[in-house]
């Protein structure tokens, strides 16, 4: 997959999946733009010294003006990959309005605002790609038992993706999403030490799917929510 000299935004790029995505993009020749919220994220980011990396921050992706400014600074945007978000598990009785709104803000609002800003930039570039991250409960709502606010926020991401895939196809802007199950990360292994970790999808494997959807080689897939479950 050829990304040489193509500018790609990766939100959530300092996380476990984000690092795998950015590493693969740099290897493919991309110019990567990664916003961060906490300065510590930038300090420990393994690619911060790469000449083709631009770290921007602190940036609040739930702030409309900040998102608009972030995307305005990117020349000739080719793709925007939205990995930023957060997880919250609680039964319905334990979820108050504040907790619900937090999940919607972290997972749906940030995605919506970044999609909106990306579309404006991609129209100036003459087309491109958008890739969002939903989750398995977005496709299989029963999997969202005990985490209904999170499941609903990711279902909103899936619905947005499908709608934009239809809305933007005539402008050569292809919009898709991946829907991971539990990713094989050190944090998830620590949280679930007795799980069958070998069945979980690896971040590098999910990154490969994301790269294809964001690449020029993807000419026909749009509006898809692609399951990336591994063997779990």
Evaluate if residue 14 carries a pLDDT over 90. Answer: yes
Is 165 among the domain residues? yes
Q: Is 229 designated active site? A: no
Cis peptide before 205 (omega within 30 of 0): no
pLDDT tens, residue by residue, 148-163: 999 999 999 999 999 9
Spatial separation of the C-alpha atoms in residues 8 and 32, rounded to whole Å: 5
Residue 209, domain member (yes or no): yes
Give domain status of residue 1, yes or no: no
Instruction: Cite the DSSP H helix spans in the chain.
Output: 16-27, 39-43, 64-72, 97-103, 110-125, 136-139, 148-168, 186-191, 203-214
In a domain, 2, yes or no: no
Q: Kindly indicate the confidence band of residue 222, based on its pLDDT and cuts at 50, 70 and 90.
A: very high
Residue 1 has pLDDT above 90, yes or no: no
- For residue 48, give the CATH number of its domain: 3.40.50.720
Dihedral, 222, 35, 139, 141 alpha carbons, nearest 10: -160
Q: Indicate whether 200 belongs to any domain.
A: yes
pLDDT tens-digit readout, 74-128? 999 999 999 999 988 899 999 999 999 999 999 999 999 999 999 999 999 999 9
Domain membership flag for residue 75: yes
Average pLDDT over the chain, rounded to whole?
A: 96
What is the predicted pLDDT for the residue at 133? 98
Adjacent-strand bridge partners of 55? 34
pLDDT of residue 184: 82
C-alpha atoms less than 13 angstroms from C-alpha of 204 in its C-beta half-sphere: 3
Please identify which of the residues 36, 71, 150, 229 carries the catalytic annotation. Answer: 150
At 98 the pLDDT is: 96
Percent of the chain past pLDDT 90, that is, above it, reads: 90
pLDDT score recorded for residue 138: 96
pLDDT at 232 over 90: no
Count structural domains, the chain. 1
Q: How far, in Å, CA of 230 to CA of 181, rounded?
A: 8
Domain carrying residue 57: 7-228
Q: What is the mean pLDDT of residues 174-195?
A: 92
């Amino acid at each position: 997959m050829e990304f040489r000299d193509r500018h790609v935004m990766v939100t959530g790029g300092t996380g476990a999946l984000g690092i795998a995505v950015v590493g693969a993009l740099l290897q493919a020749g991309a110019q990567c733009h990664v916003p961060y919220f906490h300065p510590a994220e930038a300090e420990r980011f393994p690619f911060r010294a790469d000449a083709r990396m631009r770290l921007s921050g602190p940036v609040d992706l739930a702030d409309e003006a900040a998102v608009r400014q972030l995307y305005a600074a990117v020349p000739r945007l080719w793709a925007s990959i939205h990995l930023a978000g957060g997880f919250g598990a609680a039964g319905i009785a334990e979820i108050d309005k504040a907790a619900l709104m937090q999940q919607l803000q972290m997972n749906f609002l940030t995605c919506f605002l970044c999609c909106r800003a990306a579309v404006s930039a991609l129209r100036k570039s003459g087309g491109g790609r958008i890739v969002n991250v939903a989750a398995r409960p977005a496709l299989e709502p029963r999997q969202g038992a005990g985490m209904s606010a999170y499941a609903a926020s990711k279902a909103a991401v899936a619905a947005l993706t499908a709608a934009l895939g239809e809305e933007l196809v005539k402008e050569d802007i292809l919009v898709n999403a991946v829907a991971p199950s539990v990713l094989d990360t050190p944090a998830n292994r620590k949280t679930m030490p007795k799980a069958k970790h070998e069945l979980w999808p690896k971040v590098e494997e999910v990154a490969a799917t994301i790269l294809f959807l964001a690449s020029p080689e993807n000419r026909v897939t749009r509006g898809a929510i692609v399951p990336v479950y591994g063997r779990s």
